[in-house]
A and B are shown apart, each in its own frame.
Chain A
Amino acid sequence: MNTTTLFGNSSAVIPPRPAEDSLTAFFWQGARDGKLLIHRCRQCQSYIHWPRPVCRFCLATDLSPAEVSGRGRLHTYTSATQAFHPYFLERVPYIIATVELEEQPGLMMVSNLVGVEPMAVQPNMLVEVLYREVAPGLTLPLFEPATTRRGGDR
């Protein structure tokens, strides 16, 4: 099944890599550690993604990475059938998804939805994070349909 084996194959072509910097490195290190970390304001507790040096809700500059549950709602999705990077040539079709994390309304992140056929994707379906090392030192937080294996404590 294309979608479940997505990124599972070794390939000579390396995937696009993030240029981790002082503002973003925590996110990628978190993924390597199996955690979904999101920039959070220490003053008003709002989450800010993508990372910024200031909280747009209260303008505090006191932000730090905070672990989130990794659960959310599928906001929208597309089945990408054309590759714009050679790494994805043998991986199309794959599903690009925007996920609204459960911690905060409007807290969106972009990822891939795996473990489900494109035809079976449902709008607003509950999803949860999983981690996949796609290249040495690069682990991506991906999403799959939510199951109860984490205890159903929503």
Chain B
Amino acid sequence: MNRVAIAGVGYSTVGRNTGLTAAELATQAAKAAMEDSGLTPEDIDGLCSYCTSGSRATENAMSLGWMLGLMPASWVATTGLESAAFMHPALEAMAAVQAGLCDTCLVLRVIQQQPSTPVVLATAASSPPVAGDAQFLAPFGAGSPTQWAALRTQLYMDAYGATEEQFGAQVITQRGHAVLNEDALFRTPLTLDEYLASRYISKPLRLLDCDYPCDSGSAIIVTTRERAADCRKPPVYVEAAAFSAIQDLNFEILTDTGPSSPKLCSDRLWARTDLGPSDVDCAQLYDGFTIITMEWLEALGFCGPGEAGPFVEAGHTALGRSLPVNTDGGACNVGRRHGANFCIEATRQLRGESGERQVPGAEVSIFTNAFGPFAGAVLLTK
């Protein structure tokens, strides 16, 4: 990725029940990233998007590109539900710029708050028979992401003797970071007792191990290093990127017959750079569920296999310590942005824009997305 830089980042209004449509969220985020970079629609000739609104106008990159005045474009790519959250459109954009398919590519991720539990239950009651692979899950009351995260959490606990208190330590640490982030949705410090008192969704997974559903639009602008040098903000360079896919698209029946997807991805990433784990000043590790952050800590080599629990319990992932992790508070606290916040926070840290939560002198950061069947990671430098 020796050609690629991030030149702009931005968010829409973020929160519960914003009343904003997916198209509006996409528009706000795109304009924020353009404003951040100083680039205009005329400067942008590529678009990679991943929207899940159910609305045709915002689900595909063609319609979004037309709506936002980006046409004619050199490159568009639409990423669907079955992909690694924000990582997929981000990597598609970086790869397109690296390959020369386009020079400047907007990346959009819009996600809307999911229906409340009563609505989910009412919808399920009137649903037709379950087709495809899901028919091997639904009759058993399985298939919720919270449940597969719980299955993985239990597996991890059994393998390494990890404790609920250790998972709680990471949740509390991230809340501590959110306290310093005026954009976070949760800014009240959290205690271990409060974590342990939060209800189980699927034991051992607690409510506070889950990211927070909300409406959000996120955007970044990826461009060439030359172009980025002329933009409004200091460029952030893509030092290396990697991805790994290891099996069918399900999270329930991972076989454990080989290395995990984060591990394979991490090994690939470090092979593509002269930098190593000890060079990373702060890490933004996807926390859709706490177990995902724990797996990435080990996969990337920040600690050894099975050591993530003691590592976070000892406070190493807190601001001011050896490896601040999820310095914006993570998706548990800034709301579900499907991984985009980790890229944007890494960028802001390297620009020195993270205010009270700034890691002094941060020069190298990393952001990751997903685990289980697939995983992606990007190493950024200033």
Contact = CB atoms under 8 A, between A and B. Distances in A.
A149 interface: no
A77 B154 contact: yes
Contacts of A75: 155, 256
Nearest to B257: A106
A80 interface: yes
Nearest to B143: A84
Given A19-B129, A19-B130, A78 B139 contact: no
B263 interface: no
Nearest to A6: B141
A135 B151 CA distance: 27
B136 A76 contact: no
Contacts of B154: 76-78
B68 interface: no
Contact of A76 (B139, B144, B146, B152): B152
B66 to A, nearest CB: 37
Given A18-B130, A79-B203, A86-B124, A24 B135 contact: yes
A126 B124 CA distance: 33
A96 B158 contact: no
- Sort chain A's interface into a size bin: 35 or more
Given A16-B127, A86-B121, A140 B139 contact: yes
Contacts of B205: 78
Interface residues of B, number: 46
B120 interface: yes
Given A16-B130, A18-B129, A98 B202 contact: no
A20 B134 CA distance: 11
Contacts of B53: none
Contacts of A86: 121-122, 124-125
Nearest to A23: B132
Contacts of B117: 82
B130 A17 contact: yes
A88 B133 CA distance: 20
Interface in A15-37: 15-21, 24, 27
A145 interface: no
B129 A76 contact: no
Nearest to B142: A96
Contacts of A27: 136
B271 interface: no
Interface string A103-116: 00110111110000
Interface string B136-174: 111111111011001111110010000000000000000
Nearest to B122: A86
Interface string B102-127: 00000000000000010011101101
A78 B141 CA distance: 11
From A85, A88, A100, A106, residue with most partner B Cβ within 10 Å: A85
A81 interface: yes
Contact of B203 (A21, A93, A106): A93
A94 B140 CA distance: 9
B313 interface: no
B151 A109 contact: no
B139 A80 contact: no
A59 interface: no
A98 B203 contact: no
Interface in A42-71: 49-50
Contacts of A16: 124, 127, 129-130, 138-139, 141
Contacts of A89: 121
A123 B200 contact: no
A108 B255 contact: yes
Contacts of B155: 75-76
A55 B71 CA distance: 44
A83 B121 contact: yes
B121 A78 contact: no
Nearest to A88: B141
Given A19-B135, A50-B136, A85-B138, 18 more contacts: A18-B135, A78-B202, A78-B203, A79-B202, A80-B147, A80-B150, A82-B200, A82-B202, A83-B121, A86-B121, A89-B121, A91-B141, A96-B147, A106-B257, A108-B252, A111-B140, A134-B139, A140-B139
12 contacts: A18-B135, A18-B138, A19-B131, A20-B135, A50-B136, A76-B155, A78-B202, A79-B202, A80-B147, A96-B202, A110-B253, A140-B140
Interface of B: 117, 120-122, 124-125, 127-133, 135-144, 146-147, 150-155, 158, 199-205, 248, 252-257
